[in-house]
Structure 1
């Protein structure tokens, strides 16, 4: 079964298939790796498509019979003149005299007789040869003698090309030094016979000593013996009737074994090679039948291979293995068929081996790729399942006895313990050497010990716990009695196969069992969670719900599954309103689905208060994300908050009001000077004021802790600092302390200006309290990065390094200042830190003992 998780790997596998095939194609085309195979296919096609020679073609053979009758070679040239005259009398057509006459004869009279016979016939073609005169000499063109050249109707080169395997398959229709001047002998004969007007034109030029060749063609051959052959001596003696010679195009040359040039060909091979005259006669026959084969360039072959690769890449991933095999076989045969058809009907030779080899390699490569992909996927899944084993789903019976002992000691608070395996002490020492156990797996409890004997992993174990002197309670003993430790004395032995596939099957089976256990573990965990959990699909429809939600909402689980979440929130929850910024629960759920931003709200469900948290839930890369909703019961928390607020209200009203009245009365008594000494009244006033300040600090800290962004608004930082300085100016003047304020304007932020101002006042108050008289307190407001900084620096005694980490804690004061400065509650700096954190900022301290202290308040500014 396919899954979306496999799709990226499958697309990648296509490239894994295409790239190696393309690399193989490039390698084959750029090297001669498949050359021998191409030669074999070429020769096979040639043998299957022989050329029928024209009726007017024949060979006059200088054979063994002629050599025996006329003597050894070379013969005098007047004898060749006699042959030409005989053929002229018989009415023969063009005569290709495939004999080299590059040197004058010893008897000049013979050259004249041969030239005159050639001129009488008027259609005799002579060969030329290009080769070096000596081994260390450059190439030369060896033409017939000047007299014979003038008498010849045409000249043609007699060079055939041998491929790397030594077989003659091709020739160049033009060849020469410096320029491809000379046509092949067959081309020269064809022009004289009127088959073609002229040989292909020469196109290249080079240095005079460079052999320039052009217009290479492949020669298809006639069947052996298909071209008529007459013995030289029989023609010369008139034994061949004129009717058999009249009008024929004749090639005269050596055919005797071991004599003259011989060329292995696709038809004859090395065992029965053709002579040069037979090769050129076959070339002429192919030319007359318009069957010369032109080699194609590299690009059509490459295009064929690339087309096959594209077809394979597109088709293989969509097909079954059997069909891919058939397609691979078909695509392997396609280049062969295409090459044979182009050779037969278009006279073009396209080497088919490279595309065919690529197509043949496609199936095993694709099969290997699929197996590798399958193996990779299987290993990946097995590894993933192996990692899942880290989830604690194992049974108690899987815990090692030694670890079990340590866990029980830690959980139950045992003083000590012991473990004995097969009579050998592993941990601790049993207080009793021998002990009779009534039943395996059943705990036996005594005053200060508890022990059990159980069987596991093929061995017997004794485990004991030592309690404190007072013993243990019944709850611990009942817990131990419920522990299933005994696994039985018989256990199954599972044989592991050595075969690789079987081992993987066993691993998959074990992983499946582990996954099933893990699902049970997770399912049980969700059911027993103290919170309610709901999982929805991409449409907000409930797919999973645990029992806690069903109990709280008073709705059966079967009814909840399939219900849209907005309907549950809007209809089943009394006295509930959607979060701020949304008109209804449908908009709230939709905003989480579309925007991906988690949502938190409170729900009132009868007497219960629930904290509702909704967040996107991406279950898998190929499926639309759904939602996961969590309901936490915060009824007790809200009750504690209510009590906390009541305490704040009590302190702020019931505690402060009498103190204010007391201060007013004492002020009146002090003014009227009745029944109390001024010193007493002043001391009472200071104590009352201190009580008031304590309550005020406590109230301000509570307000800061209860601060949320709902109470934020736009405010300017320098204005806040100026207001704070104005608030403490009278206190500073009473101690003759100057407050210097410098800062940047237009530093705006979202915050609560009242609490921020109070935080700066606390910093200034501390600075004034701990600064000597007639000193200076510096207040600076500046910007650094995205933060605004309010710094308050005094010239006081500073703070000891050991006290600095504690200054922001509640009810903490500098120990060295307890007796020398006004007492406080230790809540002022805690208030400053709370206000900074509620605004997303922080506060820090830089102080050197004896050199004052600097507090910096960092607040994030608006962009």
Structure 2
């Protein structure tokens, strides 16, 4: 099913709609309100307001009830308290006690109130009975006339039941009463701005949050009975506003506050006293308009919806954290500096939801992309490299037959024979260990399992030098399958299944890349791949080795600059060849010389993936050996045309002369003909020996002993030395075993001894010394001959090159003898050195690796 139409991209619209949907769902719960209350309470608790020093409480507490009797007390008792506080110098007296019913002591209380002049009484809004409508419960008429102010005592409880503030004005009809704290400050009732309201409708205005000074008992509090019965205390009440109200349990109203919750509620009179304290210090907090919270949430939603899709995933979380911190910073500034409470829970919830929603959308988009890529990967062609342990046994046998050409074989399945030739069950070794190859002579056997089926495979290899190498190769080849690795639990979760698919696809791609990389690295040629501008993007190890450029410096280097730096040319210039390959899309093949080595570079254009442009694949082949062979071929042609042709022509001329006068053949003519024939034979022999040396490989090596080789070579040259009276002195008794070709090594030593005898004066001596130096077997040949000029030493081992001194002395050679010696020694991974001075003789030293250096 094609799901490309699904809007799973992380765009401002998709992210904004997703956050808005989650926000609306969250807004249907009480979570935003609880967060706002929690933030407000945390701020108020962290920084409690300072208590005003001009406020005191006179509490109608349990002790006063015990001293003065049950409630209600006679009003002349309250008159006595007012008189005592008046004598103490109290500036304002505020009663949080209702005097709604008339009493015979109202006159006495009214006189005391008038004598003080500033007594505030409460008004309560409640129905007179359960059958009546809401009405104002005012003090009795005498008291109402004596009071200097009236204030309402209603404290507002929030939705969670906690008292955090009150309305500064509350009333019914056309008049709003100030709160008890505002009345104490001299505020008068005000007319309502709403006309035509029924007289029983409660009207409230100017809600304020009260930052309390602390829990219950924070303000200075004195017992009612103590103040009434004790002498006046001007030091406690002078110039202060004194609140009088009930704090006894079950007598007055109790309010849970942010400081107390339900553990120690605060009395109403304390709450009103704290309200006056905050009002005097201008600390009352005004709630922000409802639209401000919504506006902040909308701004946060738009900002995050616009920014997050353009950010990296790691920056998304920091952006959301920064947004939350900015919202809390704004909240703190508004609350602390401007005394405005701005609910920010909606904005915080959006900031908290933005990250998981954005991550979820990105995850969904990534998951969808991975599924599409995995589907394309499954459909795309790929190179399969099945393990030998998973191939059918019959197929394995076919592969072994094609690879090794065995002379005989046997394949069985349990007790059944699947294929055989010249082998039967009696040839199977009894001690076969499953999964391990067993080699007996030229036969190789293995027993392996496919599931619960046992297979036995064996074949006979050619009995030549390649047998050991093939058996070592087979020992590294695993044919048994590991069943424990094949049984893997299938993931149950959908995301786990996809992760497993990604892992399998990634492993497959890694194996493919490793296969391609190793293939390129092991190619015999150098490979360079460029982009559409001719910039090198890939090069294998041969390029790094041949050009001497480290791999990091090759990447990003123009191909023309690399080639011009090592082989500058004018016709045609490199930039022209490279540009024509890219523009004309035609292949080019050009010679290249790098560090005295010859190469052939082939430029081929190829189409770049997902592009209309072409790049270049440059294949660089090392043809130094081919050019050297061509040079040797030309030298051989020159050699044959001159050195070989010359004695043959002389022989033919002499034979023609003898034919014309067959009756006058003398001995000198026959000797001359024999010398020419021997020279031709010698030339041909050296030419053949050099060709054999150049074709020598380690497959023709075997164990041989150096001292025996030198002794045989000495014996071969002894007759030639005896003719000149030259003694061959051999020193050395230690057996030094080598791995090499004794025949060619002996021929090389013979060539050196022949030269030593040929160039040494009669009656001299040639010394041969065989010894061991570390892990090398050494041979030194010293003579007392004419020596070699210093300018000829660097070219001594070049083929077809002869010394000028030898030619002038009449000693004719082919120039192949020393070249043959050097070729043989190098094929044996050895070294040859020569030291010589004209007139003092020469010294040749051979060094060859010992077969077993640890013995």
TM-score (norm 2): 0.49
TM-score (norm 1): 0.48
